[in-house]
Amino acid sequence: MKTTLSAWELNNNDLELIDLALIEDLGVSYCDKTTALLFPTFKEKVSAVLISKHPQPIIICGLPIVKAVLQKWDDCTVQSNYSDGQVLLPGEILATLTGPAPFLLMSERIILNFLQRLCAIATLTACYVEKINHTTTQILDTRKTLPGFRHLEKYAVQCGGGVNHRMGLYDAIMIKDTHVDLLGGMSVALTRLPDNILQTCPVIIEVRTLDELNILLEKGLHKVTRILLDNMSFVQLEECVDLCKGYVATEASGNMTLDRIAAVAECGVDFISVGKLTHSAGNVDLSMKCGF
């Protein structure tokens, strides 16, 4: 499920988001009343810089979006000595934008809105990854993303050193507690999975108790890619991981804060999924300064 950064590129949905952002800010006619009043005939090229005002180092994510926005205008370019996934220190210049002043001014907020969110996700992900670097556990994202932004936000997780979970409901089977309860138990849920299901797509099954895990290991081990251990105590988690070791990959989830992520990883799980990476990352502080 992981995509390398070198293979990643903006997809059609991302490009539509950029178009929507432009229309949202400028209207269908691409009108900025302030800029049109102050710079009615201004066509000379000027420069502006994107600079970090964040108090801590950040992980860069979103330079392809900067380029895509500026490509909407004539005679606009972006130059950067950085790549997505690299570290930007406080006060450092991320990129230099060149073009007619009206175009740079009209692009400013759109570019910053994308960058500030995506860099925040990448930066928070890097904090989680750093906490568990002494283990072999990998950090996963979730589907708790801003609607329409999933491809971009999962890319930001990659930039921070995380690994992508399933993209959506369409590319993996994930049987959760709600499915099990509606079906009447783990045994029934397992019977719904064909014996050759893994030839079609990955299968992840959530277990809440040791009893559920034992049923799965006894009756469905050949049907599962990974076992999700949700909201378990450290004692439960270690016991379940020991039973799965050497047979099937394990994933822990639920209340994965920075304070406890290392202790969870030290239980021996292969993956930890963290919803906070995308739903609670906030924004970093970036600014555009003109006249450089």
Active site residues: 109, 144, 176, 206, 230
How is residue 121 annotated by DSSP?
Answer: H
Sign of the alpha-carbon torsion through 155, 254, 212, 138:
positive
- What's the token pair of residue 227? 């076992």
SS3 (DSSP) at 103 = helix
Which residues contact residue 130 at a Cβ distance below 8 angstroms, ignoring those fewer than 6 apart? none
Where helices occur in 27-176 by DSSP H, the ranges are 33-38, 63-70, 101-131, 150-159
80 in Cβ contact with 62 (< 8 Å)? no
Give the distance from CA 170 to its chain's centroid. Answer: 18
Sheet containing 45-52: give its strands across. Answer: 77-79, 93-100, 45-52, 286-290
CB–CB of 53/90 below 8 Å? yes
Q: What DSSP assignment string belongs to 175-230?
A: E-HHHHHHHTSHHHHHHTS-TTGGGTS-EEEEE-SHHHHHHHHHHSGGG-SEEEEE
